[in-house]
Structures are given as C-alpha cells and as structure tokens.
Chain A
Amino acid sequence: MAIFEINDVSFQYPNDEQLVLQNIQLYVEQGEFIVLVGQSGCGKSTLLRQLKRELAPHGQRNGSIKYNGIPLEELDPKIATSDIGFVLQNPENQVVTDKVWHELSFGLESLGMDTPTIRRRVAEMASFFGMHTWFRQKTVELSGGQKQKLNLASIMVMQPKVLLLDEPTSQLDPIAAMEFIATLHRLNEELGITIILIEHRLEEVLPVADRVIVMEQGQIIYDGSPRLALASLPQNHTMIQALPTAMRVFHAFNQTGEAPLTIKEGQKWLAAQHIEKVKLIEEPLGTNRPILMEAKNISFRYERDSEDILRSFQLQVYEGEILTILGGNGTGKSTALKVLAGLEKPYRGDVHIKGKKLQKYSNAELYRNVIAVLPQDPRTLFVEKKVKDELSKMVHGKKEVDVQLKELIALLEIGHLLERHPYDLSGGEQQKVALAKVLLLEPQLLLLDEPTKGIDAFAKQSLANLLKSLQRKGLTVVIVTHDIEFSAMYSERCALFFDGNIVSCDNPRAFYSGNRFYTTAAHRMSRHVLDQAITCEDVVASCREM
C-alpha cells in the first residue's frame, strides 16, 4: 500500500487567482527516496507542506491526501506529529533551545513522554548520528552542518516513517551538504524511512534517489527514474543546468537512453565514446593589467588570545578581473573579505587600493565610488517595505541618477519586483535587489561573500551573466565562495585560501586541471581522457566528433 496517496490535489492561496498546484496525482511507496525538483516558485514547497498537516499553508485545497489509507485531516494528532517529520531550509531558525540535548528532547517533551523513554530515545539517536562528543554543548557553538544534523536528529527521535525535507542543504557548504545527503541515504537504506526531498544541488542526490519528480508551474512534468529524466525534458530546459555533470555531458552529446549519474559511471561512459580530442585554446593570464587592490602581509585575529585567522595574507587584485577566492568552511575566507573591505582591522600589514593605504580613505570616500560589499545575508541591507523605496533611498535627492537607476533595474531584470516587500522575494531575487542597492554607489570594486549560497541553478546562471556584463562595464569583482563549479565557469583567476593565506592562484584551467581532488566534477570525470577540460562545455568542446 502506498504510504501517501495524493489524488487530484489543487491548491490556491487566499486572494490569489492562480492555482499554485494543479491536479497533482502522486503515489509514494513505503521506503522510497524521492527527489522533488523545479525552479523556485514552481510549487514544490507548497506541495511538500501539504503533506505535513501542521505546516500546510492557508488556502483552498481540493482533492484528497491519504496517509496509510487515512485522510490526512482525520489522522490522530500524535501520529501526524511523530510519523511525518519535516526538516526546513535554514539550520539556524529551526534550532529552538540553547543546549543540544534539550533540542533533541524537545519533540518528545511535546508528545508528553516520560523521562526514561526520552533518555533512551535521545541516547539512541545521538549515538546513531555520532553526536555524543557535542551532546552537552550549547547550540550556538555548532557549525551549520552540525546544526542541520541536529535538526534531523531531533525529528528522528520521534521515530517518523516519512521524512519531508525542504532544501535542507542549501545553506550548507559542499562537504557538510554531502555528509547530510549521506546520512539521509543511510536512514533510507538501513531503516527503510521514506524520504521526499526538495533539492537543487543534484550532483550527489540523484545517484541515491529512487525516483525524481520534476515540477513546473504547479504541475508534475516528470515522475520516474532519474536516469531517464532527460528524455522527458525539452531541449535547453532550464532544469538541465541543475542536473549532475555526467548527465549534462551525456545530454550535450545528444545521447538518449539511460544516462550516467555518478562520476564513476560518467568516466566509464566517456571512455567508451569514440571521440577526437580538440586542443582547448589557452586563455592568457591577465597580470599585465594595473593592480587595483593589494593586500600586503596581513595578519588578523578576533581576540588578543585567539588563533590567527589570516597569516601574512597576500593578494593582488587586477583591474577589471573576476577573481574567486576558494576555501573550506570556517577557514576564514569571509574574514579575509571583511579585512579587504575595511570592515575588520588587521593587527599587521596593510590593504592598498590604487596605491593608497586603505586607512587613508575616509569612510565616505571608500564606500562611495570605490568599494561595494554584497554581504552573505542580503537581508542585512533591507530597511524599507518596498523594493522601489529600497533603491530610491540610495539615490535620494539626485535627479541625474534616475536614468542610471532605470538602466540598473533593466540590467538586473528586477522591474517586476519593485512593488513587493524585500522579504517576500526568493533568495536569488533578494540578492539581485541587494546588488542593485550597492551598485548604485557606483563602485570600482565589488566584493561578494558566498553569492551562490542557497540559490538555484537558474538564479546562479543569471547572477553569472550579470557579473560578466558588469565586468564589461569596467567593474572589478572579487568573490569568496566554496562553489567550485561556479568559480571554474565564470572567473578569470582562482585563488585557494588555506590556513590563513592564499596557497595557489592561477587561471581556472591551470588551477583546476592541476588539482586532483579539489576540482570540478567535469574534470574528475574527464581527466583520464582529457587533460584540460574543467567544465561541461569544455568536455563537449574538446571532443566534438569530427
């Protein structure tokens, strides 16, 4: 019997004419691992929330949803709570209490269980997830990955049969995300827990999924095996960019049938193709351009007694380039960016901008026309109730900037958002509005902190295009990121930040084809046949059949 039977479900928000969900028909079998994908705004979150009674949004729902044959509305509240677990996107917001052990017991306390039962369940879960070393710690001291693991564990103590997860890895770094997916895979394999997961980072998820469901404009457009998903998507569909590298290359070769999913399968498939290699054109490294910003021997720490975060940090930024600084989470690359932006003061060394020391600039000089910073959380910039006011506030009192404002709105494609509240926008849209805000200061240098965090493949693509066109207008861009693929595709120089300093810096092709582990999926997949391919496009371009 199906664990979930969704029959002809439609949904409409109050005061909204459009149907968010249209005649959804879905059966979920016990023990399935399902990945739900689609662009932001396609209704996937709304669908997922329909399955968790407590979180179902207000609005008009038609059709029926049955859990184990019982309509969801008639389910006993205790069973509805404990059997159906829900993990949300932001790891920070879901943690309610101050101690790890208290967080784990929260759900069981709500269900009114006695102390010995709670003690046992909590112990069981902490052991299963390997959390015993930080069991008594405060929740503030945990990393993002640990927090999300804690959120999952504090659902698991209630012994759910189904887990619903709404983009749980979007705020995590790639390594923590991979660990999280591996944990889900383990829960599915070892305990047979049914999993329905919304994801946009598909590289690691698709190989472990039994079924993929693709949604578009409130409808399911594909429901079936991940390997055959390509066939049902139209050519050049935006979802294709989100698929794993092996699948994308497979698609670019116009192949049909069962697509390879993992790097290993991709390697095998590529080796079996009869291809002629084409030499890729080497892009020259643009170091003969003038230096815009230079960091000289910078050392920095937060407290007098704490460890150094930057150790004799050196960096040159050339005029008009896009530079990405890569590194693991918590290594201090965001701190490096703050020092470059003059937001934190180093105890040794200087930052020079156009040959002048950063301290010699007044704040007004520095942040008007010189440096602009796009923070990791764009919401730290928003003050007003409407996007329109948010932007006009930046240029108040100046007539001549009206044209500039209009141009910028057109360039960023945010014209349709002007009347909306900044908090109602999707992650990608919020970022664009924040970007528009800082660009109105007409900077020469734009510093971005993890701009690809939590945005989908489509938004990433449009951000990249935007940065490219800004670069053509003469803007210099420095990006701090852990997104290897993004850096490989769009930057001119890549720098690896490790142990408080830049350890290597080169153009993407040399940088990524020189690395064996810390490199793009496309390079890992093609290394044995091609030396220099680092993106899907490279792989396709360098082995076009003659």
Chain B
Amino acid sequence: MRVFEKYHPIVLFSYFAVIIFMTMFFMHPVYLAITLIGAMSLNLVLNGRDFFKSLKMYIPVFLLIMIINPLISHNGEMVLFYMNDNRITLEAILYGLAMATMLVSVMLWCSCYNSVMTSDKFLYLFSRVSPVFSLVLSITMRLIPRFTYQLKLIGQSQKTIGMDYTIGSLWHRIRCIMQILSILITWALENAIETADSMKARGYGLQKRTTFSLFVFEKRDGILLAVIFLLFVISGIGSLLGSTTFYFYPALTGISSTLKHLFFYSVYAMLIVIPVGIELVEGLKWRYLKSTM
C-alpha cells in the first residue's frame, strides 16, 4: 500500500500545509472532531502498530491540556463546583477539551508529515526556491559522513604515535583533540581542491544551473492538487459565512445543523479523508486485481 506518499512532493507539502493551518484555526467542535479522527486514522494507516505505542505520549498531553485550562481560566456561566474559592466552569472544561484536541491533532498531522515527507522530498522543494542552496545542502550531506569517518582514522593514527585523546591529563587531551582537528582541516582543504577540479571539469559555473530531480509531476498530481485547492477554498468561504464560528465564553454557542452548515462540514471531512481514502481505494484495487488474476 502506501500510495499517498508516492504523490509529488508539492502535492504532499500543500496538503499538509493546508490541513495543519485549518486544524489550528477552526476551533469548532465538529471541525475538531473531524480533524482528530482523520489524523488518527491516517497515522494508523501509515505507522500501523507504532501508532498505538505513540498513544502513550499523546494521551498524557491531551489530558494535561484539558485539565490545565479550567484551573487557570474561570470564565463561563455554568459553574460546576468551587476549588480553593475558584470557579470551575463547564465552558472552561470544554474549551480545554477543544484546545487539547486541536494540539494533539496538529501533533498527529505533523507525525504523518514526517513519515511522508522524507528529507530528499523536502530538499527537492527547497531546490525549487534556490538551486545553489540545495546543492550546498547536498554537498554537506556528502561531507558529514566522510569527515566523521576520517576523524576516526586520524584518531587511530594519532593514538599509535602517542597522541591518544582518551587518556592522560585534561591538558594533554585538549592538545590531542586540537591536533586531530587541525589534521582534519588540512586534509579537508587539500581534498576540496580536487573536488573543485571535478566540479569545474563538469562545467560548474558555466551558466545558470538547472535542477534535475527524480520526481515527476503526473496528471494525478495535478488533479489531486486541484481538488485540495478547491476544497480548501470552499472551506474558507464556509468559514467566512460563519460555519466555523463557535464561542465557548461566556456561554457555549449551539451547533447549527442547517443544510448550509452540513454542506461545509462534509466538504471539510472530504478534505481530511483524502489520504486515507486513497490508501483504502488502492487496497481494494489490489484485492480485486489479485482475485481476478
């Protein structure tokens, strides 16, 4: 399975950007419920059993935020009881619940983002912004493991000539480490000359670079991007028309269930369910393919 992550990085990035943005700003109980369920189910699809392990972290966070709000906020009309002469109100408890849902949902979406947007996809997006910066990043990623390995070799060589940084006085150790670093720097600069030659030999700096990547923007990426954009715009309009308006203080607003609002709720739900939907459809397709083979 895992088809959703095969979509073009631009599609994936825009999807998560849109979803996380809306989750943060739509503090309406229905919207919050939809986004929480959506985030949990996508996590379950992407991470499988690891999702249940990660609950150990999310549940305490959820409870903590839920409890803290009524303890510090005493607004609201419906007083449930008094604690140390402070009012504990229903509104504050519900607001805490909403806050907790919102924060945990954002965390869950971010965890999905992490497992879908691997570093090379992120780098690719960056290279769209600045080709030089992405090349620098790529070179850095190449050099870090190389330097680490060379550092170990230098350390071993120096050990055999009496410059062991793991033993002796603090002064001796500092001297050894300085020496090892100095050797590494000379070595790196010397090698950089040859790397520069290799870049020059392949026309570096000749003209404006183009950026090549293995990612292809297919038709399905275009369609999905358009759908995401459309649903986002409709949800935005819905928000302007008041479908996401909900007041906790001083008293709770009622949840409206007019046809207009039901429409906007379902648009939001459609947007949230996209990745899980794609995975499910693909799963069914495979089952069908296998059974007809």
Contacts and interface: CB of A to CB of B under 8 A. Distances in A.
Contacts of B161: 367, 381, 394, 437-438, 441
Given A105-B212, A112-B207, A343-B156, A54 B142 contact: no
A99 B221 CA distance: 25
A118 B216 CA distance: 13
B201 A54 contact: yes
B211 interface: yes
Please classify the interface of chain A as helix (H, G, I), strand (E, B), loop, or mixed, using the class held by over half of its residues: helix
B194 A94 contact: yes
B60 interface: no
Contacts, number: 155
B206 A81 contact: yes
Given A111-B206, A112-B208, A383-B182, A88 B157 contact: no
Interface residues of A, number: 65
B138 A97 contact: yes
Contacts of A105: 212
Interface string B18-32: 000000000000000
| Interface size grouping (class) on chain B | 35 or more
B153 interface: yes
Contacts of A380: 150, 153-154, 156-158, 183, 187
A82 interface: yes
B142 A96 contact: yes
B198 A363 contact: no
Interface in A378-437: 379-383, 394, 423, 437
A108 B207 CA distance: 11
A139 B146 CA distance: 10
A154 B202 contact: yes
Nearest to B191: A93
A90 interface: yes
B160 A101 contact: no
A413 to B, nearest CB: 22
A521 B161 CA distance: 38
Contacts of B167: 363
Interface in B137-165: 138-139, 141-142, 145-146, 150, 153-154, 156-162, 164
A382 B183 contact: yes
Interface stretch (A262-270, A289-297, A320-328, A368-376): A368-376
Most buried by B among A78, A89, A110, A111: A110
Given A140-B142, A375-B157, A93 B210 contact: no
A110 B202 CA distance: 7
A272 interface: no
A109 B156 contact: no
B203 interface: yes
B195 interface: yes
Contact of A367 (B146, B162, B203): B162
A365 to B, nearest CB: 11
Contacts of B207: 110-112
A506 to B, nearest CB: 30
Interface in A221-246: none
B201 A139 contact: no
A102 B199 CA distance: 13
B159 A367 contact: yes
Interface in A157-209: 158
Interface string B176-209: 0001001100110011001101111111111111
A272 to B, nearest CB: 47
Q: Quick one: which of B146, B191, B198, B200 has the most chain A CB within 10 A?
A: B198
**What 3 pairs between A and B have smallest CB-CB spacing?**
A107-B202, A110-B203, A81-B203
Interface of B: 120, 131, 135, 138-139, 141-142, 145-146, 150, 153-154, 156-162, 164, 167, 179, 182-183, 186-187, 190-191, 194-195, 197-214
Given A109-B209, A140-B142, A379-B186, 7 more contacts: A94-B194, A106-B199, A108-B212, A155-B201, A363-B159, A367-B162, A380-B156
26 contacts: A55-B201, A78-B203, A78-B206, A81-B202, A81-B206, A88-B197, A89-B194, A92-B146, A93-B194, A96-B138, A96-B139, A96-B198, A96-B199, A98-B141, A98-B142, A109-B209, A109-B211, A110-B199, A110-B204, A110-B205, A140-B145, A343-B160, A368-B162, A371-B160, A383-B183, A438-B161
